[in-house]
Structure 1
């Protein structure tokens, strides 16, 4: 691993792991020996990172040179912590992990009293019945939507009929009990909502529909909002 990549991973670990974090933990996260880790901590300190602690005690990142300082009120912090905590209940582990990393980065830029408040927020989020995790890789859908490339789906509709669909992915929606893909279905030549739990397999295609995604998503969501009553649209 290149040294720059290793130092970046070390900074990330210092941001998100509970403080103080031991040298052994940091070495495992960055996949280096503890001897190399100590040299990397010295390198970060030389670059402007304020890292408290020492070998045998643990380390804490108290000032991060890579991120500008944040001036958030306590209520803004509560809202941020609660909103990111909601990601744990969406059944999308990668997204939940990204939320944890984002919160760690933000917390690293806060004054010490605000960082303490973020770590011990008054508000919390809990679900008695968490949504089941998706059985397909949702990152494939996200990447295809951003790059505006078609996907091939193996899909089972609400009546149990199986079909192969080529779709243009427009976005993901997280409902209370399920996730859905909003897309243009090339088979039906119309907008469709595909329930994630019914997608059996998914594969990216080379076909591009750039630069139409934003306009199509705006059109589709406008249609959904215009329905009366404003209930969840009937899925495929």
Structure 2
């Protein structure tokens, strides 16, 4: 691991672990020696990070130069905490981890008073029926959407019939009971929603549909408006 990457990861650990965090704990998490931790903390301090503590006592981050200071109203903090908590419960493992990492970064930029407000938020999330987890790699699926790359998928529909489709993946929709993939289906020449738990595998094709994604999403929204009553919201099943 390059030193710059190691220092960034060390900063993230010091932000996120309950202080004071010992060099032994940091070394175990980083899979390096304690001596390396001591040297890297000296490097971070030289770069401007205010890290209190010393060997044998543990370390506490008091000021992080890598992140600009932030300020939020109390209701904004409540909204952030509520949204990230919901992602943590509804998302797949990588998305939940990303929510935790984002929370650590946000807290690291806040004054101490607002850190306490965030950690004692009054709005809580608990979902008794989280969407079932997909068996496919959701991270690679998101990367295909970001890259605007067509995918060949094996799909088993609600009648248990299996088909092979080439799709242009556009967006993921997190509904109450399931996660749906909105895509343009090249076989049907139309928009389709696919249950991610019924996608049995996919292959990258190397075919790019850039820059059609924005236009396709705009077309889908116009079709949706035409089909729905003005008072209706959400996506058709």
The two structures have a TM-score, normalised by structure 1, of 0.93
Confirm whether residue 155 of structure 1 aligns to residue 158 of structure 2. Answer: no
Match of 2:43 in 1: 43
Match of 1:169 in 2: 169
1:225 Cα deviation from its structure 2 partner: 3.9
1:172 Cα deviation from its structure 2 partner: 0.7
Q: 2-side partners of 1:187 and 1:151: how far apart?
A: 12
Give yes or no for contact 1:136–1:199 (8 Å, CA) kept in 2: yes
1:133 Cα deviation from its structure 2 partner: 2.0
Confirm whether residue 32 of structure 1 aligns to residue 50 of structure 2. Answer: no
1:189 Cα deviation from its structure 2 partner: 0.9
Deviations along 1:116-135, one digit per CA (max 9) or x if unpaired, are 22223222211123322221
Number of residue pairs the alignment of both structures matches: 234
Give the 3 Å change call, closer, same or farther, for CA 202–17 of structure 1 in structure 2.
Answer: farther
Give yes or no for contact 1:149–1:209 (8 Å, CA) kept in 2: yes
1:71 Cα deviation from its structure 2 partner: 1.2
Give yes or no for contact 1:10–1:29 (8 Å, CA) kept in 2: no
1:166 Cα deviation from its structure 2 partner: 0.5
The two structures have a TM-score, normalised by structure 2, of 0.93
Q: 2-side partners of 1:133 and 1:20: how far apart?
A: 36
Structure 1 gaps of 5+ residues are: none
Structure 2 gaps of 5+ residues are: none
Q: 1-side partners of 2:25 and 2:171: how far apart?
A: 37
Match of 2:202 in 1: 202
Match of 1:191 in 2: 191
Match of 2:72 in 1: 72
Match of 1:106 in 2: 106
Give the 3 Å change call, closer, same or farther, for CA 208–123 of structure 1 in structure 2.
Answer: same
Give yes or no for contact 2:165–2:187 (8 Å, CA) kept in 1: yes
* C-alpha RMSD over aligned residues: 1.5
1:59 Cα deviation from its structure 2 partner: 2.0
Give the 3 Å change call, closer, same or farther, for CA 226–22 of structure 1 in structure 2.
Answer: farther
Q: 2-side partners of 1:226 and 1:104: how far apart?
A: 42
Q: 2-side partners of 1:226 and 1:18: how far apart?
A: 52
Give yes or no for contact 2:133–2:197 (8 Å, CA) kept in 1: no
1:42 Cα deviation from its structure 2 partner: 1.1
Match of 1:61 in 2: 61
Q: 1-side partners of 2:92 and 2:218: how far apart?
A: 24
